[in-house]
Amino acid sequence: MYNDRIYLTPQDILEKEFKLDARGYRPQEVDKFLDLVIRDYTEYNTILKLRDKTIKELRDENLKLQTEIRKLKEILESTNDSSNAVSNLDLLKRLSQLEKIVYGKNE
């Protein structure tokens, strides 16, 4: 994805050889190469900033979802507890009615 925007590899930079002129390296050739290096570093910094921003956003979303999961678990547990309590109460009432029928108590 980002490789199509970065033109130089570390190996390209390491192996770059400039042609010698009468007074040393050709300034135009060096300038062009340094322009490529600057462009790549600028792109690299942009990629790093985007990555850091994405990581921060994902961490924030993760915390938000973890909090939501905790709340939903609490709601589920409280719902299960109350439904168990209702079920137990219902069972006790039925058992009481059965005892009255079986033992013939008319209270």
- Phi, psi dihedral angles at 24 (to 5 degrees): 125, -150
Residue 103 has pLDDT above 60, yes or no: yes
Q: What is the pLDDT of residues 26-49, one digit of tens each?
A: 878 888 888 888 888 888 888 988
Q: Could you tell me which residues are beta bridge partners of residue 21?
A: 24
Given this model, what pLDDT does residue 29 score?
86
Q: Which stretch, 47-51, 60-64, 92-96, has highest mean pLDDT?
A: 60-64
Average model confidence (pLDDT) for the chain?
A: 82
Q: Is the pLDDT of residue 62 over 90?
A: yes
Separation in Å, CA 93 to CA 3, 37, 38, 57: 72, 83, 82, 54
| Predicted structure pTM score | 0.49
Greatest Cα pair distance, the chain, in angstroms, is 123
